Amino acid sequence: MPYAEEKYARLDAARWLAAVAVVLLHSAAMVVSNPAVYGGGAWLAANLYDSAARWCVPVFVMVSGALLLDPDKPQDARQFYSRRMARICAPLLFWTFFYLAWRTALDWWDDGRIDFSFWPRKLVQGEPYYHLWYLYMIVGLYLFAPLVRILYARSTPRARALWVVGILGVAILDALYRRALGAPAGFFLTWFLPYLGYFVAGRLIFDGQMRIPRPGLMLAASVAATALGVYSMSSNRALDTYFYDYFSLTVPFMSLAAFQWIVSSPRLPRLASLAPLTFGVYLIHPLFLDVAHRAGALTGARNEAWTLPVLAVAVFMLSAASSWLMRRHPATRRFV
C-alpha cells in the first residue's frame, strides 16, 4: 500500500476506534451517573472506562479536519455544501424526531404517561437526546468549514499551531468559567467554535506539522487525571462531570495524544468495511443501551466492573449490524 494511502487508512482505524469508545463511554455513564453506587467497585471501573473514552468525540472532529482541510483536494463552497450539508441534514431531521418519539415512548413505558411538552424545548436546546448534540454542533462546523479551508490554506504551519493553542486555550478557560458559575452552553449554532481547535489540529497532526511528545504517556496520564478528578469532586449525593468535559484541563491533551497515537500506529487494523458504519453506530447505539438498562444491566452491580466492556462491545456490534442493514435499503440509506 502506498504511504499516502496507508496514512488515510489510519483515519478509518480512528473512526471505528472512536465509535467503540463512544459506546463504552455511554455505557459507563449509566453506571457513573448513579449516585447510589458511588465509590463501589463497579462505579470506580465505570469511571475509569468513561475517562479512558473521553477522546472519542474530539477524535471524530479531528478526522473530519484531516479530511476536509486537505490542501490537495480543493473544493469550492457550493460543492462542499451540496455534499456535506445534505449528508448531515437528513440524519439530523430523522433522528431528532425519532428520539423525541423514543423518549416519549420510554416515559410511557416507565411511568405510564405520554408527554409531548418537552419536544419544543429539546429542539431549541439542540439536544433531542443526549448524544444528538453532536449533529447540531457539526451543522455549525460545516457551515464555516469552507472559510476555515481558505484561511488554513493561506496560513503557515506555525500560525495554524497557534490557532490550535489559542482556540483550545480559550475553550479550556470557558469550561472553567461555566463550571464556576454554572453557566449554560449557549445557542447550539455556536457550539462548534471551540471544536475548531480540534478540527485544525486533526490536519496538523495528520501532516506531521504538530506533534505531541510521548503521546502514549500523555494519554495514560490524562486518563488517570480525569478519573481521579471526577472521583475526588463527586460524592454519593452528586456527580461532578467537569473533568469529563471535552475542554476540561485534561481531555484536550488526552484527545490530541490519542489521535496522534492512532495516526502514527500502522499496525492498527483499518477495518475498511466497518469504518462507513460508524456514523450509524453513533446514531443507533442508545436504543440498545436503553433496552439493556431496562433489562437490568448497567445498574452498578458488582460484576459490571468486568461485564460492562463486554456489553459495550455487544451494543457496538448490534449497532453496526443495524447501520449495515439501513445502508443497504434505499429508503433508510440517507439516515446513516
Helix (H, G, I), strand (E, B) or coil at 74: coil
Distance CA 145, CA 156 (A): 18
**pLDDT in single tens digits along all 336 residues of the chain:** 555 567 788 999 999 999 999 999 999 999 999 988 999 999 999 999 999 999 999 999 999 999 999 887 777 778 788 787 778 999 999 999 999 999 999 999 888 888 888 999 999 899 999 999 999 999 999 999 999 999 999 999 999 999 999 999 999 999 999 988 887 777 888 999 999 999 999 999 999 999 999 999 999 999 999 999 999 999 888 899 999 999 999 999 999 999 999 999 878 888 889 999 999 999 999 999 999 999 988 888 888 889 999 999 999 999 999 999 999 999 999 999
Identify residue 253 by its one-letter amino acid code.
F
Residue 336 confidence (pLDDT) = 93
pLDDT of residue 2: 56
Residue extents of the structural domains in the chain: 3-335
Residue among 208, 227, 222, 209 nearest 257 (CA): 222
pLDDT digits (tens, 9 = 90+) for 223-260: 999 999 999 999 888 899 999 999 999 999 999 999 99
| 321 Cβ contact partners less than 8 Å away, ≥ 6 residues apart | none
pLDDT for position 272:
86
Distance of CA 5 to the CA centre of its chain: 25
Question: Hey, is 3 helix, strand or coil?
Answer: helix
Q: What angle do CA 220, 226, 228 make, to 5 degrees?
A: 100
Q: Return the pLDDT at 114.
A: 86
- Nearest to residue 300, comparing CAs of 49, 13, 23, 3? 49
What is the grid cell recorded at 119?
419536544
Fill in the amino acid letter for 154.
R
Run of H or E residues at 215: helix 215-233
Give the per-residue pLDDT at 332.
94
The DSSP output letter for 83 is I
What pLDDT was estimated at residue 169? 97
In sequence order, the 6+-apart residues with CB closer than 8 A to the CB of 26 are: 130, 131, 285, 286, 289
